[in-house]
Amino acid sequence: MSSVFETVQSRDVRQLGINPNHWYVVARSSEVTNQPVGVVIWQQAIALYRDSSGKVHALEDRCPHRQVKLSHGQVVGNDLECAYHGWRFDASGECAAVPYLAENQKLPNCKIRRYQVKEQDGFIWLFPGNAEPSIEPLGLPEWEHLNYIATVSVINCNAHYSYLIENLMDMYHGHLHQDLQAWASAALQDIDEDTNRVDAHYTAQSYYKIDKIWSISQLFFPALRRLHPEPLDVSYVYPHWVSTLGKDFKIYCLLCPISATQTKAYLIHFTSLNAFWRLHKLPVWFRRFIKDSLFGAAQKLLDGLVIQDVKMIEEEQQAYLQNPDRRNYELNRALVSVQRLMRIQAQKIDNFSSAD
Ligand code: FES
Ligand SMILES: [Fe+2]
């Protein structure tokens, strides 16, 4: 493995493409209705829509007739109809109807690209690669689980995805978050890595301990916080990120890199109710009611963290664009592993438009 590591070492990480042979997250389930919606993954515009049975489809967002966006059209049955002249395309991307086709004319042979897409755990997962997927989406088992309360925050940053991943893997940036900070005194213990993931194990001081209901108030009143040591594990499971803090918190960041200088991502925070054993004896309908009513409980906290992080990430990108040759002074060896993984994965690009 060391020879692979050495050959990829020299590439500028801020210019790396993505490995398209993974499942990326392009939308939340709730964003895709029977009105088509346009998304972009690594400079490829894609129209997402739900057919009459509720199944989600992903087609190239381009009408082959005059190159306008199909996502500005509408869904008719299982087809996507272009807004301009009303040509229709079926879920495989074939032209299925032209409203003014003369008796002696055949349907044009103008197939557009169809993408592999799955709806799972509240999100739309898309596989931009040309190959047949040999892996499954990362998935979020906590999404449906009755013991977990979810909060979702959307990250839109004008920066290369590497800045976001490095921010998420570098727990020494707790300094930035001050009163919003969920951890303190992070210390990197060790790192496990291979060509698909990097697991960085930190210890940290945390005030999060959801064993008594009052402890949730610590989120809102810093003066009530009592710190205790907890393991803090952060993992870059290419191309996404997962973190656990003690037993009570799990956070995912699901990535949708848009271009070399733009990244969208979904940050999903789960609070576990596992510690409240009495709750588990209640009827399922009531537990679902609790889960649904508490959805978004950490919204202010999560959005606040995102605003602070995005500001730093975008400043890094701007500084890079002004002085691409200026080097950073990095003390956290987890980031060396993270950059190595990005380079290895980006090198697997197959005929995919790179950012350069
Ligand atoms: S441009 Fe789409 S139907 Fe004419
Ligand atoms: Fe942060």
How does residue 2 score in pLDDT terms, banded at 50, 70 and 90?
Answer: very low
Q: Give residue 264 CA to ligand 1 midpoint distance, Å.
A: 29
Given the CA of residue 70, which atom of ligand 1 is nearest to it?
Answer: 2
Mean pLDDT in the chain?
Answer: 89
- Six token digits for residue 304: 């606040």
H/E element holding 68? none
Distances in Å between the Cα of 175 and the Cα atoms of 26, 153, 183, 184 are 31, 21, 9, 8
Q: Which residue has the tokens 């009408």?
A: 63
Q: Which of 145-154, 181-190, 219-228 has the highest mean pLDDT?
A: 145-154
How does residue 335 score in pLDDT terms, banded at 50, 70 and 90?
Answer: very high
pLDDT in tens, 245-258: 877 789 999 999 99
Q: Does residue 197 surpass a pLDDT of 60? A: yes
Q: Which residues of 295-331 are buried (b: 16+ CB within 10 A; e: fewer)?
A: eebbeebbbebbebbbeebeebbeebeeeeeeeeeee
What's the pTM value of the predicted model, to 2 decimals?
Answer: 0.91
Q: Let me know if domain 148-346 sits in CATH 3.90.380.10.
A: yes
Instruction: Please give the residue that has the higher pLDDT: either 308 or 282.
Output: 308
Among residues 93, 61, 235, 89, which one has the least CA distance to residue 165?
A: 235
| The CATH number of domain 24-127, selected from 2.40.50.100, 2.102.10.10, 3.10.450.50, 3.30.420.40 | 2.102.10.10
Q: Give residue 147 CA to ligand 2 midpoint distance, Å.
A: 25
Q: Give residue 82 CA to ligand 1 midpoint distance, Å.
A: 6
Domain ranges of the chain: 24-127, 148-346
Q: Give residue 67 CA to ligand 1 midpoint distance, Å.
A: 7
Among residues 76, 141, 83, 85, which one has the least CA distance to residue 272?
A: 141
Helix ranges (DSSP H) in 170-236: 174-177
- Six token digits for residue 210: 């959801």
Distances in Å between the Cα of 183 and the Cα atoms of 29, 171, 244, 311 are 31, 9, 12, 20
DSSP letter, residue 338: H
Residues 6 or more apart whose CB falls under 8 angstroms from that of 96 comprise 79, 88, 89, 90, 107
Which residues have C-beta under 5 Å from ligand 2, the single-atom ion?
Answer: 309
Give the residues surrounding ligand 1 with Cβ less than 6 Å away.
63, 65-66, 68, 82, 84-87
| Nearest protein Cα to ligand 1, atom 3 | 85
- Is 117 in contact with 137 (CB distance < 8 Å)? no
> What per-residue confidence (pLDDT) applies to 212?
60
DSSP string over 109-167: -----EEEEEEETTEEEEE-SSSPP-S-----TTTT-TTEEEEEEEEEESS-HHHHHHH
> What per-residue confidence (pLDDT) applies to 354?
43
pLDDT in tens, 19-55: 999 999 999 999 999 999 999 999 999 999 999 999 9
